[in-house]
Structure formats: C-alpha cells, structure tokens
Structure 1
Amino acid sequence: MKISSIQTIGIRFVVLYMAIQLLPLDGQFFKNLFDWSGDSVAYAFTRWLFNLSRYAPSFFGSTATFTNWAVVALLAGIGTLIWAQRSPNPAADERVYAWVRVAVRYRLAWAVIAYGFLKLFPIQAPLPSLSSLNTAYGDHSAWKLFSLSLGVVPGYQAFLGGVEVLGGLLLLHRKTTAIGTLILLPFLGNVFFSNLAYEGGEYIYSGLLLTFGLFLFGHDAARLFRLVSLERPARPNQEPAALSTIPRAARYGLKGAFLGLVVGVYGFTTAFTPRAIRYPQTPGLRAEGVLGLYRVETFKQDGQVIPYAKMHPGRWQDVVFEPWNTLSIRSNRPVTIHHVSTEELPAGAAQSDHELAGSQGRLYYRYTTDVARTQLLLQNANPHHATDRLRLRLTRAANNRLTLQGTDSEGHRVEATLVKVNKKYLQHEAAKAGRRGSLTL
C-alpha cells in the first residue's frame, strides 16, 4: 500500500524516537553495567540484570521525568529532518524499521521478564512485616498500601509475574509478537495507571514500556482490525528481506544467548533469591524468645514517669521486635517520611529500606548486640534521622515482660516496661490453616 509523504515523515519520526529510547545515552547505564554488588553471586547477578533492564535515557539527573521524553522527541525530530534530505529509498526505510522493531521487541521482552520473575517468585512485594501490621492504615502512603496489598497475596503476585513472563516470551518470536502485545498492553496500561493512582515512582518508566508495546502492536493493528472487525481478508505479515538475509545460525545463536541469560540464568538466580530480601537478613532476638508486639506499660524519661498519652511526642506506645534485627517504636514523635521513588533491589539486605519506606507513626531502628545479647545499640534506619541512636539494656522478667533501660541520642535516660501482646494475625493463621482450613482468632 502506497503511503503519503506525511505518513512517511511520521513513521520515520516514530522509528527514530523508539531507537533513541533504546540507546545508552548517559552514565547511569554504565554505572549499572559495572555494579555487581550483592549479598551473594546469585543475587548480585539478579540485581545487575534487573537494574540494566530498568534503564531509560535521562538528561537531567537520575530522576525520571517526561522532560527526558521531550529531549528524545527533539533529537528524533532533528534526525527526521536529516533523513528527509536523503534521496527516497523505500527499501532502506523498510530495513531500518524492521531492525528497530526487532530491537524494541527484545527490549520490551527484557523489561517485562525481569519484572515478571520478581513477581513470579514473590520478591517485589514481600509479606508485610509485624511493624506494618501494627501501623495505622492512615500512616501509610498510597504507594505503601499498594505494596502491602500485593504482598499479602503472593499467589496473585506470582500470577501477575507469570503473565509478564509469558508476554515477554511471546515477543521473542516474530509470528507471536501480536499475541504478546495483546497480552501485555492491558497489563502495562494497568501498571501505568496504578503508578499514577498510588503515587508510585515508576509511572514514567511504565509509560515508556507502554509506548514500546503500542509501537509493536501498531505494526499489526490495521490488519487485525480489517480481519476481526471488518471481516475482510488481510495480508499476512511477511518477514522483511533485510532480516531474512541474516544467517539462521547467527539469529538462533543470538536468540539462544538472550534466552539463556535473561530467562535461564536470571530466572534461576531469582528463584534462589530469599523471598524476604527486601528486609534485613541479620537475625534478631527471635532465638531468645524476643519477638512480636509489646505494649509499653510504663515509660520514664530522666526518672519521671510519663503516663500513656497518644499525643505526647516522647512517650512510647508500643514496641515491635521483628525476626530480623529491627526494633520499631510507635510514638507521636514527628517522622520525616522516607519516600522511595523507584523500584530498585537493594545492594544487600542490610541496605533494604522497604520496611520503613512510605510510612510514619513509627521509628525503625536496626540494632547490634553484645555477646550476652543484652546490650543493644540502635541506629535509626531512616536516612532523614541518621543521628538518632539509642543505647539500651534488655532485661527479661516473668509474665512476658521486658525492660529497656538506657539513653537516647539527646542524652536523656529512658526506661520502658514492655508487656507482650499475644496477638494473632490473619495472614499467619491463614497460612497455617491452609486454603480450606478454618480460622479461629
């Protein structure tokens, strides 16, 4: 079908725009390329490939903005003007379009498979911590509520990951690309609008993946509309001569390498990544029987008893000991919320900030102990409160009581008597009862 000059210009612009979005145009790509940090070799590979898959050109710092898209559009516009100065060559144009389409197919497949495996083996949104379960609903940001809601249903999260992986695999074959885009477009559209609605930081990147999907689907959209909606004959999609001239062994070799690296190795290392990698992996005082929610029965500051009061900024209300080395304190003390704008894997479990990100109402401390496991040195894990430290002595008493005595970062003497609350949690009881078991709370 013959196309007009205006259509030719439009197609060239879109092709160049997509091509530029695929190029490593800033230092972040090379920073990710040489970043192999991780708690293990397997996890380091998972994190390395995932970070590479998330790359998009950024011209104004590391924060993703739509301004970067405007710059790419400007560059594509300049390229289109230069392209127009050349003598018309439809065959060359077709070859450029074909190669860019192949590159977009594999780029989108890489991205959705990388995210898909993190959901398939529920890592992206872990089960809520005890502290999150004992934090008021209104003290969580919209993004944190979405993450917690996804984390409590690992089976559904795995299903979403399976959809992404399936869609990505279908993109790797030219004949199934249309089916893959039909699966991925509703999924990516939902991800994009979910990021907007829940104030997530990935709406720019998810929007970019959505444009990749639309670009690929546009190749077959007219034929599908003619065949399905108009019920008229449609010509099949023939492979361009530019791609058929590549030796079959070379094509199969490159595709095999992609499958082996992105699907085989990445899938294997992700499967063996701890499900709770988003939380610290250093054991807490669980072995000593110190785990769970504790009500602060009495609280003293500099020897003065402070009665229970929700509005008092210094009075502790309850304390949670996590299975790992985190102790969280609920109080009315102002907290500068630590916001996470992008979906990233921490370099190691010790650097994970998932448990405190997007929440207020609690102070999260990571602690170390002495040999006797009675002296606690606590450091506020929130980077906005890096100077906040506590030195406490833990004393165990009868009747599920604990006593914490020590000093805070301002030199005040604090003493708290804690009483354990034997609280059951629906998500834990449901896991014990099984799918068809009965629950008693």
Structure 2
Amino acid sequence: MVTEAPITQQRSGWKTYEKITFWSFFAYAILTAIPFNPSFYQQDFGKSFSTTDYPWRYLDVLSQNNPWFFLNADGKNYIGWLITLAGCFVLGTIWTIFDRNRRTYRTVTYWFFTLVRYSLALRMSWFAIAKVLPVQMPFPTISQLNTPLGNFTPGKLYWLTTGVSPIFEVFAGLFELVATILVLFRATTTLGALMMVAILVPIWFVNIGYDAGVELTSLHILLLALILLARDRHRFYDLLIRHRPALIPEIALPHFSYGWQEVARLVLKTGFILVFLIYRGYEYSRVYAAGKTFKLPMTEGIAQFTGYYDVSSFAINHQQHPYSPKDSVRWQNVVFEKFNTISIERPGAAALNTENKSRTTEYYGNVGRLYYGYEVDTDEQILTLRNRVDTAQKITLAYKQPTSTTFELAGITESRDSLHVTLTKVDKHYPLQDKKVSWFK
C-alpha cells in the first residue's frame, strides 16, 4: 500500500479555494486520461485503416481522447469544454466538502501530477513522433499542386506549407519529442512543461489565425502543461519577479510500504515508454519507409497511370463539349495519384468540406476537384471509381491506352449519362517539388 510520510497534527495549510481548484483539476485530469464520453466507444476504430496491418491505430485512438462531452462537433467546441470545466469545479467543490479533514496532500498531489504528466505525454507523443517521422503533414499531392491557391482554406494552406518542408516538420517534432520525454520524469517535469508551453502557445494561435481545426485540442494540451507549472508558481515569482534564488524540486514520491509497489511503478513507466514511444516510433517508421502518411489513402495506385492528364476531348450523351473554363459539366484535367485516387477538376463541382480527419486531406479545405478512389481490373480493363466523400456514388469506366501518353475512358456516370473522354498525359514539373529539401528523401 501507499502511505503518507510521517506528519504532524497540523493541517495542510491549503486555503479552501486552493483545495477546490486542486480537486476540480483532478477531476479534469481523470476525464482526460479515461474516456468517459460515450461517442469515444461508438466510433469505428478501424475506419480508414486496416487494424490488421496497422495495429497501432488503437494507440492513436487512445491518444486522442477529449475531455469535453457537449456539442462535440469540431475543433472549436469551446462551449462543451467550458461546460466540462464547470462540471469539474462542481465535483471539486463537493469533494472538498467531503474531504475537509485531510491533513496532507502529498500522496494525492503525486497521483494528480502523475495523471497529468502521462496524459500530456500520451497526447503529445502522437504529434511528436508523427512529425519526427513526417507522416502527419504530407507533401502536396499532384492534385493539390494543380489546385489554384484561392481554392484552399487558410487552414488547409497552412497544413500544405508545413508539409512542403519536411526538415521543419522534423525539427518541430524533435522539440515536441524532447519535451514529451522530459515530462515523463519527475526531476525534469518542469523543464518539459516549459518547453511544452513554448511549443503550444504558437500552435494554439496558429490554429486560431488559420482556422486549422484543432485549436481547442491545442488549448487543452496547453492547459495540461500549465497545470504542471502551477506547482512552482511561487518559485517562478521569486525567480523572475523578485529576483531571488528559487529551488525547483522534483515532484515528491510518496512512501511505498511494499517493494512490489515500486517495482510495479517502474514496470508501468517502462511499459508506457516501450509502447507509446518506441513501438509507436517503429510502426510510424514503417509507414514512412513505405511512402505512406496518415492523411492520404494507404492503397497503392497503378504506377504507370500516375500523373497529370489534359482532357483532349469530352463527350457526354454523345455530345462533345469543347474546352471552356466555365463549363461545369466538362472535365478540365484529371490526375492519377501514386495511391488509388483519381481527381477531376470541374468548376463548381465540389462543396467545401472542413472536416479534417485521418483520410480526408484530399478534399478537406479545398474546392474545384472531385476525388474518387479507384479499383482496376487489368484483365477486363475496367476502372471502378467511388466518390471519396460519398462512397455510394460509383462510376464504372472501360479504359484503353492507345499510346503511353493517352487514355480513353468510356462508361456511365452516377446520373446515368454516357461518357467518353480522351486524356493526354502532360509531363509537368513543379518548382515546389524540384526544390524540396529533406533529410530523408
């Protein structure tokens, strides 16, 4: 069992408001560490992933638990977050009343900061390793390289410009990873929390300024880092304001009555590091080595199809549509990605989608192109296209390749119109890609 260190009969010395604040944030830390939100368990854990091939998907889901319950619709759910905080303060007030005779807070303080430290490390380890092995923010796809700048939202543009520079992404990830590791050890928790604050303040403002989609998540993680620093608030005041020497000690370890408890603590700590840092890093390195990312489809496309194609001719219901930049029916150009996506530029074709999830980065935050996942029957020369946004929409096309640079497609559209298209491959070069600098590729 865990016992308190020997104490006198004096009270803890905490004021009532300090006790309420402590227990309130203890409740918040528990909600952060343990998913109580029913929607967490209702989600499809294997969505957009094969959990057989990528079992680490379950680790990622655990790392993305949010403590807010209400109006949990997007990355700006401030109302839900504030309601959750208010609920925690109600719980903290009630617990303070029932726990008013406590004489020392040494043991519960240790467990509180341990819970916050590991919740913070759990969340940040995902972001850190996904940047160190840059699989979070991919380099722009061929489709995105051929999308006008004005067709992107600011948030999508920020993600793309970060993905353009893998070196910057890796550097940011290393900084986050060092801070995460420091937070895992009691002696370096304060330094790690300071680094976290330095990281998360600009991230929060970037998310606000660019409407990048995870501003509340970044604020939540920032709050966890500030909670760790709150322990030393008086010492920081002495050091920074009063210019007096201040010793910042490590978080006190409670007295363990039995030897197995200390062994269990070390085993659990080692297990956390092995699973969420080392094993996760190994799995992410496999993803990166295979040329994959979290944001783009995992399925390989047909290598010989990959590239940008001009639409030489376009006929629907046997009626030719000559090129016109304002024609909302005619395809302007077609891109076959290296993964199994075909994108089609068609003016006004796609509504703006701002739901940034694991496999939506192709159509999230931009308009002007339709995105389809494709399957190929090379024997029968049949392409089956499924709309990435609405997979119920399907187009079946017969294809021919008269030459190495031309493609002929014929079939029926979703609206049951006949379609005949001739594509001509264009060898395009992109300065953004030609000047790409990376330590890896």
TM-score bin, normalised by smaller chain = 0.7 to 0.9
Secondary structure of the 2:334 match is: strand
Instruction: Say whether 1:120 aligns with 2:132.
Output: yes
Written as runs of structure 1 = structure 2, the 5 A alignment for 1:347-366 is 352-366=359-373
In the alignment, which residue of structure 1 is the partner of 2:198?
186
Shift of 1:150: 1.4
Contact 2:139 2:163 in 1 (8 A): yes
Contact 1:98 1:243 in 2 (8 A): no
In the alignment, which residue of structure 1 is the partner of 2:35?
24
In the alignment, which residue of structure 1 is the partner of 2:279?
265
Secondary structure of the 2:325 match is: coil
Contact 1:20 1:72 in 2 (8 A): no
Instruction: Say whether 1:52 aligns with 2:62.
Output: yes
Kindly provide the amino acid, as one letter, of the partner of residue 23 in structure 1: I
In the alignment, which residue of structure 2 is the partner of 1:377?
384
Kindly provide the amino acid, as one letter, of the partner of residue 82 in structure 1: I
Contact 1:367 1:378 in 2 (8 A): yes
Alignment match of 1:255 (pick from 252, 260, 269): 269
Secondary structure of the 1:397 match is: coil
Instruction: Say whether 1:340 aligns with 2:351.
Output: no
Kindly provide the amino acid, as one letter, of the partner of residue 60 in structure 1: F
Distance in 2, matches of 1:5 and 1:80, equals 11
Contact 1:43 1:270 in 2 (8 A): no
Shift of 1:165: 1.1
In the alignment, which residue of structure 2 is the partner of 1:43?
54
Distance in 2, matches of 1:316 and 1:59, equals 44
Question: Closer, same or farther in 2 for the Cα pair 1:331/1:186, shift >3 Å?
Answer: same
Distance in 1, matches of 2:65 and 2:353, equals 23
In the alignment, which residue of structure 1 is the partner of 2:92?
80
Instruction: Say whether 1:302 aligns with 2:290.
Output: no
Contact 2:179 2:192 in 1 (8 A): yes
352-361 or 107-116, which deviates more: 352-361
Aligned alpha-carbon RMSD (Å): 2.8
Contact 1:50 1:115 in 2 (8 A): no
Secondary structure of the 2:349 match is: coil
In the alignment, which residue of structure 1 is the partner of 2:340?
325
Shift of 1:21: 3.7
Shift of 1:62: 4.9
Distance in 2, matches of 1:327 and 1:35, equals 23
Deviations 1:369-407 (A, max 9, x none): 223363222222222xx4543332323234833322222
Deviations 1:123-172 (A, max 9, x none): 11112111111011111222221221111111211111111111110001
Shift of 1:38: 4.0
Identical-residue share of aligned pairs (%)? 27
Contact 1:106 1:172 in 2 (8 A): yes
Shift of 1:86: 4.0
Instruction: Say whether 1:276 aligns with 2:286.
Output: no
Contact 1:57 1:68 in 2 (8 A): no
Contact 1:140 1:358 in 2 (8 A): yes
Question: Closer, same or farther in 2 for the Cα pair 1:11/1:30, shift >3 Å?
Answer: same
* TM-score, length of structure 2 as denominator length: 0.86
Distance in 1, matches of 2:23 and 2:237, equals 23
Secondary structure of the 2:206 match is: helix
Aligned length: 421
Question: Closer, same or farther in 2 for the Cα pair 1:423/1:258, shift >3 Å?
Answer: same
Kindly provide the amino acid, as one letter, of the partner of residue 292 in structure 2: A
Question: Closer, same or farther in 2 for the Cα pair 1:418/1:217, shift >3 Å?
Answer: same
Secondary structure of the 1:410 match is: coil
Question: Closer, same or farther in 2 for the Cα pair 1:324/1:7, shift >3 Å?
Answer: closer
Question: Closer, same or farther in 2 for the Cα pair 1:434/1:113, shift >3 Å?
Answer: closer
Distance in 1, matches of 2:143 and 2:381, equals 22
Shift of 1:176: 0.6
Shift of 1:434: 8.1
Contact 2:408 2:420 in 1 (8 A): yes
In the alignment, which residue of structure 2 is the partner of 1:176?
188
Secondary structure of the 1:85 match is: helix
Contact 2:121 2:180 in 1 (8 A): yes
Distance in 1, matches of 2:255 and 2:170, equals 36
Contact 2:313 2:321 in 1 (8 A): yes
Kindly provide the amino acid, as one letter, of the partner of residue 75 in structure 1: G
Deviations 1:8-60 (A, max 9, x none): 44444344443444333223444579769943646222x11111011023433
In the alignment, which residue of structure 1 is the partner of 2:5?
none
Contact 1:32 1:48 in 2 (8 A): no
Question: Closer, same or farther in 2 for the Cα pair 1:182/1:137, shift >3 Å?
Answer: same
Kindly provide the amino acid, as one letter, of the partner of residue 376 in structure 1: L
Secondary structure of the 1:377 match is: strand
Deviations 1:290-336 (A, max 9, x none): 32111112222222222211111101111112222222111114312
Shift of 1:107: 0.8
Contact 2:71 2:80 in 1 (8 A): no
| Structure 1 unaligned regions, length at least 5 | 345-351, 436-441
Instruction: Say whether 1:63 aligns with 2:73.
Output: yes
Distance in 1, matches of 2:255 and 2:27, equals 19
Shift of 1:254: 1.9
Question: Closer, same or farther in 2 for the Cα pair 1:389/1:166, shift >3 Å?
Answer: same
Distance in 1, matches of 2:39 and 2:379, equals 45
Secondary structure of the 1:177 match is: helix
* TM-score, length of structure 1 as denominator length: 0.86
102-111 or 21-30, which deviates more: 21-30
In the alignment, which residue of structure 2 is the partner of 1:130?
142
Distance in 1, matches of 2:253 and 2:67, equals 31
Contact 1:29 1:52 in 2 (8 A): no
